[in-house]
């Protein structure tokens, strides 16, 4: 069982990963179940890389996924981000924005090309694109009950039913996709 990592643990892990894996270029996926700490770790990793003079772009799958469409938006992310990144071009995408509890396509967000693209979130290390990624990392996080408590604390009690359904989706997704098996499993110390 994992202890709930503190922000200091995430910073330590991010620094360790930046050094141990020599992250300088390519696409990095950070996957794992909701509430595992992916967003926190990814933000710390961007900081650790910047401290070493390495530029990166961080994109969250939350910018695409919705309660009703947790996974089929991937071709849009590939078109908008991955292909442009591979061509070494600046690129744009249209993240979802939530209006009155419903997702809508947001305004264009332009991204200046950097040598390292970090995609964090559920389904980011999916089998269909895994070959395109320089590194794939996985965070387990605490028990599903603890992860649910974290996500409810973060997103609000009104989203509890959505978050429970999301946990059920991701459990099935990860089992069928075999995501964890092709990732480097990371644990905050």
Chain-wide mean pLDDT for the chain?
93
Query: What token pair was written down for 164?
Result: 């429970």
Taken in order of first residue, the domains within the chain and their CATH numbers are: 23-70+116-186 (3.40.50.300)
pLDDT-derived band at 127, boundaries 50, 70, 90 = very high
Q: Long-range contacts for 50-54 (Cβ within 8 Å, ≥24 apart)?
A: 51/15, 52/18, 54/18, 54/23, 54/24, 54/115, 54/116
Q: Is 35 left (phi over 0), alpha (psi -120 to 50) or beta?
A: left
Residue 68 has pLDDT above 50, yes or no: yes
Instruction: Map residue 94 onto helix, strand or coil.
Output: coil
Average pLDDT over residues 119-147: 96
Non-local (6+) Cβ contacts of 25 within 8 A are 115, 116, 134
Average pLDDT over residues 19-39: 96
């Amino acid at each position: 069982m994992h202890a709930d990592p503190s922000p200091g643990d995430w910073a330590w892990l991010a620094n360790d990963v930046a050094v141990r894996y020599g992250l300088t270029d390519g696409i990095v996926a950070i996957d794992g179940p909701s509430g595992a700490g992916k967003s926190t770790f990814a933000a710390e990793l961007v900081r650790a890389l910047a401290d070493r003079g390495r530029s990166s772009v961080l994109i969250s799958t939350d910018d695409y996924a919705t309660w009703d469409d947790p996974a089929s938006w991937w071709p849009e992310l590939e078109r908008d981000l991955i292909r442009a990144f591979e061509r070494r071009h600046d690129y744009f995408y249209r993240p979802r924005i939530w209006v009155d509890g419903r997702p809508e396509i947001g305004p264009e967000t332009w991204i200046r090309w950097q040598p390292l693209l970090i995609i964090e979130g559920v389904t980011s290390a999916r089998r269909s694109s895994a070959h395109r990624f320089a590194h794939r990392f996985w965070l387990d996080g605490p028990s599903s009950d603890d992860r649910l408590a974290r996500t409810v604390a973060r997103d609000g009690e009104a989203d509890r039913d959505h978050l429970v359904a999301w946990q059920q989706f991701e459990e099935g997704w990860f089992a069928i996709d075999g995501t964890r098996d092709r990732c480097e499993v990371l644990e905050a110390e």
